[in-house]
Amino acid sequence: MNKSLLPILLLTVLACAPGLGYAEKADRNKPMNIEADALRHDELKQTTVFTGRVVMTKGSIVLRGARLDVRQDAEGYQYGVVTAEPGKRAFFRQKRDTAAGTPDEFIEGESEVIEYDGRADNVRFITRAEMRRYRESVVTDELSGSVIVYNNLTDVFTVDGQKKSAASGQADAPALGGRVRAVLSPKEQPPGVAAPAASGPALRPSNALGGASK
């Protein structure tokens, strides 16, 4: 694809629309840049389809997949669906707002399909979904399930461990490995704040159920 066409398309179709998320507040004012092997744009429907090694960046946001379908409503809000190649997963990354002097934090997610809603400002990871929170380069929280929804406005996420039938919308019987899995690290104390003292005796490991015999 001729990459010189991208700046024109971005100005006319995408650049003024709300982005994928506002976890990093500066992202909302950044231009959106998309690279792909091909695209198809429908001016009447205000839809654009990018295909082939799609990479989208907008400020701290990075989104990668095999196909990106973008539409824009009458108020300028943008909605998109990113699809991965068969057997692979699409990728999302965004920097989070943090207080001055604290380590940088990032949200990363992977799934076969990633949906984003510019009006609701949330990201939905669908099928083989994983989401990780990094503090600098260290993973602090890790989630996996069938569907993960992350709301950038409220910083709240929900995880569904059951697959759902597309026809009925009802949850199917949980399959092996279909449970929600989470690893959550304790929140890091700000500099200069001492950890609270233990209120009781220290816990000691035991090799027997119920503790040592008496």
Could you give all domains of the chain from N- to C-terminal order, each with its CATH number? Answer: 3-184 (2.60.450.10)
* pTM score, whole prediction: 0.66
| Nearest by Cα to 115 from 161, 73, 167, 150 | 150
Closest CA to 66 of 48, 86, 46: 86
Whether residue 213 is predicted with pLDDT greater than 70 in this model: the reply is no
H-only helix segments in the chain = 6-9
4-33 pLDDT, tens digit each: 333 333 333 333 333 333 355 566 556 678
Over residues 111-138, mean pLDDT: 91
CA–CA dist 184, 106 (Å, integer): 15
The pLDDT tens digits for 115-126 are 988 788 889 999
Q: Choose between 200 and 44: higher pLDDT.
A: 44
Please tell me the distance from the alpha carbon of residue 83 to that of residue 64, in angstroms, as a whole number.
9
